[in-house]
Every structure is written in structure tokens, then in C-alpha cells.
Amino acid sequence: MRDRLYRVEAIVLKRSDFGEADRLLTLYTPDLGKLRAIAKGARKPSSRKSGHVELFTHSALLIAKGRHLDIVTQADTLDAFLPLRENLERLGFAYYLAELVDQFIEEAAENSPVFDLLLHSLQWLGEDATAPALLARFFELRLMQYVGYRPQLFSCVHCGAPLEPVDNYFSADAGGVIDQKCVETQREKVAEHARDLQPISLNALKAMRYLQTREWVSVRALRLNAETHTEVETLMQRYIAHHLERNLKSVEFLRELRASVSAGRQA
């Protein structure tokens, strides 16, 4: 049981208007997991809390236990991640990372590695040297590991044999890669638990393995050609949608943003 008043550090994953002047916040904390709380009066211009409970802000909060929803009584910013807010593309990716965490984490489910991953990723996202799309792929694979959905990329999920360095097949249904031999010799049996089977190139598999097993300090220097990155992005988004049983709103936003930037360059 939490005390009547308790202190947390939290990242604001989501917010919405509540009542006439309040904000309903979805917060992610390292020790208490995801929780919801009301920031009373946060929409008033005179509110002292408003700037400290903006989206993606890392804040220190004092929260009072409420009958239905807890109430933020004090808030102080630890990091506002200002650099990423100055760039629409980076801000779009911040929405994406926050939505991923919000969708995969149940309320009150403690998962401090996910908190650290999100915190560091928001910091990295504001750095000029960071390629936002590459960071998103790194984040996706690391998040899947922390929430129990790590895709198998080193051995065949059907027969268990180590994967040969050739083009193979990927299935979100089956949980990873299936080798050529199984698909060619046991197609009907494979199809029973891999209905969404699709090819995966050797380059994409190598990239996903690297992203899955290296820290960001190494990954940030990775340079993928457009074709390989698009393949990895498509595979991961299908994998994520399979486990969530829905598409993320921020994926469509990023797609529209990318199309807008592309059109602007061609104009």
C-alpha cells in the first residue's frame, strides 16, 4: 500500500483535459510502474504545475492518494528534454516511444529497465548526432526484450537449428525467424503456427541482431541503407502490431510527417 502522500520521479507519457481546468496524466515511474493522476488546475495560465507536467517531461512529483484518482500536489522538472521539442520529427518519435511504453505496460507493473530505456532514449533523441529512426528500431527491440516478447533471431523457432547466413523467413506469429529448410520441407506444418510468414533478407537479419545485442553507444554509429532500414522497420511494426493487436496512432503521424518532408524537398 502506498502512503497517503508519496514521492515519485516520473515521465509523462500521455495527458488529456479533465474537468474545467485539470489535466489527467499517464505517468511512468521506475518503482511503481505506470499510474494515472490528476494535476488540478494545470490548464490555468497561473498554474505552477503546468510546465512541470508537459508531455515527455521527467519530473519529481509529490502525489496524494485519492479515492478514485491520485492527485499531483507538487511538481518539479528534472529534465524537459528541450532539444527534442525544437524539431518536429524528433518530437514525433518521442510520441512514438511514449505510446509504445503506454501500450505495452500495464498499470502498476514495475519495470525499471523500461523506465531507464525511455529516459535515456528521450535524452539521446535530442542529440544532433542521433538518427531518430535508428533509435526507434533500437528502442523497439530493447523494449520487446524487457516486456517478454524478444524475437528469436539466432536460431530457427521451428526446429531450433542455428540460422544459416542466407535469406530466411520471419513470423511474428511464431516469435522470430524460421529457416529456409523448414519452410521448403515442412511448409504445411510451419504454416500452422506461422500464418504471417514473410521473407527476411540476410542484411535485415544482421541489422536486427546488432540492434538487439549491442548498447546504444555502439548502435548509434550504425549506417543502414534505405532498403534495409525500411525492411527492418516494416518487420518490427508488424511484430509490434501483432502483439498489441492494434496499430499505433503515432506510426501514422510519423508516416504523414515523412511524406510531408519528402514533398517539401521535391518542391
Give residue 260's pLDDT band: very low, low, confident or very high (50, 70, 90): confident
Q: How far is it, in rounded angstroms, from Cα 124 to Cα 143?
A: 16
Superfamily of segment(s) 5-82: Nucleic acid-binding proteins (2.40.50.140)
Give residue 240's pLDDT band: very low, low, confident or very high (50, 70, 90): very high
Instruction: Give me the count of residues in the chain.
Output: 267
- The predicted pLDDT at position 258 comes to 82
What are the pLDDT digits (tens) for 156-174? Answer: 999 999 999 999 999 999 9
- The predicted pLDDT at position 2 comes to 59
Cell 518536429 sits on residue: 88
Secondary structure (3-state) at 124:
helix
What are the pLDDT digits (tens) for 189-216? Answer: 898 889 999 999 999 999 999 999 999 9
Q: Is the distance from CB of 145 to CB of 139 less than 8 angstroms?
A: no
Cell numbers found for residue 142:
530493447
- The predicted pLDDT at position 88 comes to 92
- In this structure, the number of other CB atoms found within 10 A of the CB of residue 107 comes to 10
What is residue 163's DSSP assignment?
P
Report in angstroms the alpha-carbon separations of 196 from 49, 83, 170, 237: 47, 40, 8, 13
CA-based R_g, the chain, Å: 21
Q: Indicate if the alpha-carbon torsion angle 204, 207, 211, 214 is positive or negative.
A: positive
Give residue 259's pLDDT band: very low, low, confident or very high (50, 70, 90): confident
Cell 528502442 sits on residue: 139
Tell me: pLDDT of 1 over 60. Answer: no
Cell 521539442 sits on residue: 85
- The predicted pLDDT at position 95 comes to 96
| % of residues, the chain, pLDDT over 70 | 97
- The predicted pLDDT at position 193 comes to 87
Q: How far is it, in rounded angstroms, from Cα 240 to Cα 220?
A: 22
- The predicted pLDDT at position 47 comes to 82
Ranges of each domain in the chain: 5-82, 131-150+200-266
